[in-house]
Amino acid sequence: MMRNDREGQTRYEDFLMSSNTQLGAVNKNSLGSSFQINFDSPYMYDAKAKTITMELLEVECFFNQPNVSVVINNYRFEVTGRNNVNVLITALISIPDGLYDPSSLNIALQTELNGAGILNDQIVFTGNQATNKIDITLNSNGAEINFNNINYHGMADLLGFDYIAYTAVLAGAVFSSTREPTFNKLQYFLITSNITSSGTRFNGKNTSIIGRVLITGSANFQLINEPQHPYSHDLTFMKGRVVNNLTFELRDDLLQLVETRGENFSLRYRLVYTY
């Protein structure tokens, strides 16, 4: 597309990139967060351009990165509760890998309690939105949740509890977290690429970051990021150069490659040529 303005001519060229291997992505990593695109024919940046700018206009990805997992080691803890003949039994609870909020974590807990032979609702997790804390309710005398083991500290940290055992003297005992829960393991996504060697500076350091994706949707749902003020990068140094392929990565706020859990991600960027 060309247009005339007071400073001369401007040409725009848009590129849509997807990690979907059925659409041509190659060298996709096992996490699903890094892929390469090969151009059908080598792409040459226009040598006649006065300036070349790259703008990241859109990113589409899924917010499904686990906040409870074996890798994080915050998935297990010990409980004591009553079975269907009113006898107290103790079991090790292991929560499946997933992205949880307090409500969905409690649902998973009830499933695991049932599988261990403990009655549902013997131990209940509840999110207290007013205080941003977690309440644990123990619904029979003698019921207990135990974080007093190094392997259980991760779940204690997630919920905001101390590394001790909490035991109900009377049915209906409620214990509130003493620290802030840490369900939000991921603050935002970062997009990196070898399209430029001088991306957005991150805390004063040169990086290959070409954009950021804010988490504005619910857990396990698609995010569509269309920034009002797109990230812009000067590629004038590429005038006349040829590229055969490009690589793109989806990273977390610590610049680590994320696990996409089988979901693809895509982005659209624009090259702006001025003459």
Domains delineated in the chain: 2-65+186-274 (2.60.120), 76-176 (no CATH)
Residue carrying the six token digits 């001025």: 274
Buried b (16+ CB within 10 A) or exposed e, 231-269: bebebeebbeeeeeebbbbbbbeeeebbbbeebbbbbbb
C-alpha distances in Å from residue 263, one per residue of 40, 63, 65, 70, 93: 25, 10, 11, 20, 28
Q: What is the 3-state secondary structure (H, E, C) of 147-206?
A: CCCHHHHHHHHHHCCCCCEEECCCCCEEEECCCCCCCCCCCEEEEEECCCCCCCCECCEC
Per-residue CA distances from 3 to 12, 69, 120, 137 (Å): 9, 52, 67, 66
pTM of the predicted model as reported, rounded to 2 decimal places = 0.81
pLDDT in tens, the chain (275 residues): 444 444 579 999 999 999 999 999 999 999 999 999 999 999 999 999 999 999 999 999 999 999 999 989 999 999 999 999 999 999 999 999 999 999 999 999 999 999 999 999 999 999 988 888 999 999 999 999 999 999 999 999 999 999 999 999 999 999 999 999 999 889 999 999 999 877 776 766 767 899 999 998 888 889 999 988 898 999 999 999 999 999 999 999 999 999 999 999 999 999 999 99
> Cα separation of 28 and 198, whole Å?
23
